[in-house]
Structures are given as C-alpha cells and as structure tokens.
Amino acid sequence: MKPITPKQFKQIKTPKKRVKKTNTEEHEQKLLCEWVKKNYPNVLYTVDLGGIRLTMGQRVVMKSRAKRGHPDLMFQEWFLDKYCGLAIEFKRTGTQLFKLDGTLRKDEHHEEQLSYLIALKERYWLAGFVVGLEPAKEVIKAYLEAHDTSLSIINKHIYPKLKTINQNIKTK
C-alpha cells in the first residue's frame, strides 16, 4: 500500500459532526420533564412518547398503549376539588396552532389532539395545548401549587382558553 501525501490527507473529507437541535419539541419536552422531576419529585404524572424518535420495538409498544391524540403530559393530581388532573399537549416554542380568529389551523393531527383534550375536559380534566417550555412550567407550577391566581395564570398559557373549551362542550 502506498502512503498518502499531506495534500491527499487534507482532501479526505471527514464526516461532519451531527449537531443536536435544541429547539425541537423533543428537546424542550425532555427539559420540562427534568424540571418536573427536580421541583416536584412526588407528583404523579405520565409522559407520552408519541413525538419522540423511537426504535421499531418501542414503536410497537407505544402503538399498543396510546390512542392517537393522547396528550404529551398528564398529571394525576386533584386541583381545588374541581379538576382530577392536568393534561398538556406540549408544543415547542414558536409553534403557531391557531389562526388570528382563534380557530385551529388545518392539521389532522392537531384536530385529533384537540378532540382528545375536549374529551378529557368533559371528564373533569384541565386540558389544553401549551406552547413553549417556560409557559408549560408556569402552567404546571400554578396547577400543582393551587393558589388564588392559578386559574388566571393557567388560562394565560393554555390553548384553547378554558372558556372556549367549555363552549365547545356545551354545543355538542
């Protein structure tokens, strides 16, 4: 085998390192779960891994246990004797779910998620979309610490607004 020259060595292309994106829903959800574990170690909650890249075997397990539209995070804690749990459909920072008129943008997956959230609301869950890591932290904190201003904080960040979900339920 013939040795290569320095010039030839420089021409060899090395594979580029894969840079992990930090603005993905998966990344933000992971940070959110770490925050919950750190700040509320005794809280009961589950995380749906539907939006996370899984191996083939993991996908088979997930398909067998979750219905389409199932929320990303579900907290099984009572709130002011009014709600039996908090269900969050988490979206990464910057996601535009709704049009200016307040209607959901046309997307089959988001429509399934909204239907699931409304069904949970009918079953005494506080449920909705939350866009972004910091708003999600505020909603969870307000819910778990249940104080006088909790509902106004939650309503500031949860979509559709609690009033809108209640109207959708009444019109059924």
116, 129, 156, 160 from 101: Cα distances, Å: 22, 17, 17, 12
* Burial (Cβ within 10 Å: 0-12, 13-18, ≥19) of residue 23: exposed
Task: Provide the pLDDT for residue 169.
Answer: 42
Give the DSSP letter of residue 108: H
Question: What domains are there in the chain, each with its CATH number?
Answer: 24-170 (3.40.1350.10)
Task: Provide the pLDDT for residue 170.
Answer: 44
Q: What is the DSSP string of 139-156?
A: HHHHHHH--TTHHHHHHH
Task: Provide the pLDDT for residue 164.
Answer: 47
% of the chain at pLDDT higher than 70:
77
Nearest of 62, 77, 78, 87 to residue 158 by alpha carbon: 87
Give the residue ranges of the chain where pLDDT is below 70.
1, 9-10, 13-22, 49-54, 58-59, 61-66, 161-172
Per-residue burial over 101-128, b if 16 or more Cβ lie within 10 Å, else e, is eeeeeeeeebeebbebbbebbeeebbbb
